[in-house]
Structure 1
Amino acid sequence: MSEVVYTSRVSIVRERGPIRSAQVPGRTQPVTFGVHGEIAAHYGVDPAEMPADATTIDYLVAAAGG
């Protein structure tokens, strides 16, 4: 096996409901994860109570495309 050359150190905090914030390498401000559109509707989240924001799924899709 090859030696490990990188370990990502990330911390995630659940703020409230589906809202999460993550400290990730290379950023001084946390990344916010939330819900929007069809995903909010699927989970029964009232858009008036939560600001629309990218979901963890959105970030995964973007990472796979990068």
Structure 2
Amino acid sequence: MADVVYRPEIHIERLPGSVRKAHLPAEQAPVIFGTHGAVAEHYGRAPGTYEPHATTLDYVIAAAGG
């Protein structure tokens, strides 16, 4: 088996509600994950009671190239 060549050091902070702050390698500022639109509605978040942020699913889709 080949040697491990990369092991990411990632720290996730849980914030109130559905917000997460991710500290990722090579990024100066943390990345904020949350909910918005239909996803927020699905989880019972009333419009105007939260600051919308991209979901983790949004980032996975973007990382996969669309």
TM-score (norm 2): 0.92
Cα separation, 1, equivalents of 2:32 and 2:47: 16
Cα separation, 1, equivalents of 2:55 and 2:48: 17
Match of 1:48 in 2: 48
Q: Any stretches of 5+ residues in structure 2 without a counterpart?
A: none
Q: Which protein has the bigger strand share? A: 1
Cα separation, 2, equivalents of 1:50 and 1:10: 25
Q: Any stretches of 5+ residues in structure 1 without a counterpart?
A: none
Q: Deviations over 1:22-43 (max 9, x none)?
A: 0000111110001011100100
Cα separation, 2, equivalents of 1:47 and 1:28: 30
What SS does structure 1 have at the residue aligned with 2:63?
Answer: helix
Cα separation, 2, equivalents of 1:46 and 1:15: 18
Report 1:1-66 matches (<5 A).
1-65=1-65
Count of matched residue pairs: 66
Q: Which amino acid aligns with 1:23?
A: H
Identity %: 47
